[in-house]
Amino acid sequence: MKINNNFDVILSIDPGLVSCGFSVLKKQGENVFLLEYGVLKMRSSQSVPDRLGQFYTFCQEKISLYQINCLALETPFLGKNASSFLKLGYLRGVLYLISNLNNLRLLEFSPCEVKSTLTGYGFAQKEQVARFLMKLFPTISASTKLDATDALAVGLCCAMRSF
């Protein structure tokens, strides 16, 4: 689905209930432009429903502001903490709902696929991916949180592989 025959706007999210990375990319032809990136901070003292509401509002504002037409996510993996995995699922559920309500394309990429697309090596370290992104987008500083560069990596993978 296109908002214009010439470009797509991708919101990529690295979900977290305390620190949530995001980026907004515009793909026009073969060019990809970084419009915004950062981290949505939420207080751990807030209830989970309050944080989900904050996350929902934040995403809806980005969708409206940038006329987003695609959401990009990394597929989840079960780490050591099942409780964290479950809570991550709450945020993912919100994103699925947002995608449906806004008629957005939702694409998911495995961590290995993201790293392989960007660095050529599917088991690259997060810091290697961040360095690659800093070279590609000079506005990104070395102090940028990995949550933000993780989200940006997913968005760039989406731009490179899906359109």
Write out the catalytic residue numbers. Answer: 14, 74, 147
Q: Which long-range contacts (CB under 8 A, 24 or more apart) does 46-54 make?
A: 48/17, 48/87, 48/90, 51/17, 52/90, 52/91, 52/94
Q: Using an 8 Å Cβ cutoff, are 95 and 106 in contact? A: yes
Cα atoms found within 13 Å of the Cα of residue 30, Cβ hemisphere only: 0
Q: Using an 8 Å Cβ cutoff, are 37 and 148 in contact? A: yes
